[in-house]
Amino acid sequence: MSERHGSEQPISYPPGFAAIEPDRRALIVLLHLASLTPARLGLLALSHPTATACLHAVRRGAAGSQADRDRARSMDPREAADRVRACGAKLVAVGDPGYPPELLDLHDPPAGLFVQGRDLCELAPRVAIVGARNCSPTGREVSRAIARDLALAGVCVVSGGARGIDGSAHMGALAGGGPTVAVLGCGIDTVYPKHHRRLLEQISREFALVSEYPPGTPAEPFRFPARNRIVAALSRAVVVVEGALGSGSMITATHALEVGREVFAVPGAVTSALSAVPLGLIREGARMIRDAADLFEDLSWLPSPPSDAGSPTHNEGRSPRGLSPDEETVWRVLGAALTLDQVAALTGMPLPAVLSTLSRLELRGVVWEAGGRYERRFRPRLSS
Q: Among candidates 200, 150, 202, 212, which has minimal Cα distance to 176?
A: 150
The per-residue pLDDT for 378 is 59
State the average pLDDT over residues 74-79. 98
State the average pLDDT over residues 171-196.
Answer: 95
Per-residue pLDDT of 34-68, as tens digits, reads 999 999 999 999 999 999 999 999 999 999 999 99
- Report whether pLDDT(311) > 60: no
For residue 8, the model assigns a pLDDT of: 59
The angle at the Cα of 64, spanning 234 to 185, to the nearest 5 degrees, equals: 30
Question: How far is it, in rounded angstroms, from Cα 192 to Cα 181?
Answer: 15
DSSP 306: P
- Residue 384: pLDDT above 90? no
Rounded to whole angstroms, the Cα distance separating 289 from 270 reads 16
The mean per-residue pLDDT over the stretch 93-101 comes to 94
d(CA 184, CA 167): 12
pLDDT digits (tens, 9 = 90+) for 335-382: 667 889 989 988 999 999 999 999 999 888 788 887 788 877 755 444
Mean confidence (pLDDT) of the chain: 90
pTM: 0.81
In percent, the amount of the chain with pLDDT more than 70 equals: 91
- The segment with the largest mean pLDDT, out of 251-265, 316-330, 331-345, is 251-265
Q: What backbone phi and psi angles, to 5 degrees, belong to 127?
A: -130, 135
Distance of alpha carbon 329 from alpha carbon 317, whole angstroms:
13
Q: What is the band of 308 on the pLDDT scale with cuts at 50, 70, 90?
A: very low
CATH topology of domain 120-298: Rossmann fold (3.40.50)
Q: How far, in Å, are 76, 149, 176, 250, 276 from residue 23 at the CA level?
A: 13, 42, 40, 36, 46
C-alpha–C-alpha distance, residues 99 and 373, integer Å: 47
Burial code (b: 16+ CB inside 10 Å, e: under 16) for 169-189 equals: bbbbbbebebbbbbbbbbbbb
104-118 pLDDT, tens digit each? 999 999 999 999 999
pLDDT at 215: 96
Domains of the chain by residue range: 21-82, 120-298, 314-376
Same fold for the domain at 120-298 and the one at 314-376?
no
Q: What architecture is domain 314-376?
A: Orthogonal Bundle (1.10)
Confidence band (pLDDT; 50, 70, 90) for 305?
low
* DSSP at 53: H
pLDDT band at residue 314 under the 50/70/90 scheme: very low
Separation of CA 313 from chain center: 25
Q: Are 80 and 54 in contact (CB under 8 A)?
A: no
Contacts of 132 (CB under 8 A, 6+ apart): 139, 164, 165, 241, 242, 243, 244, 247, 249, 274
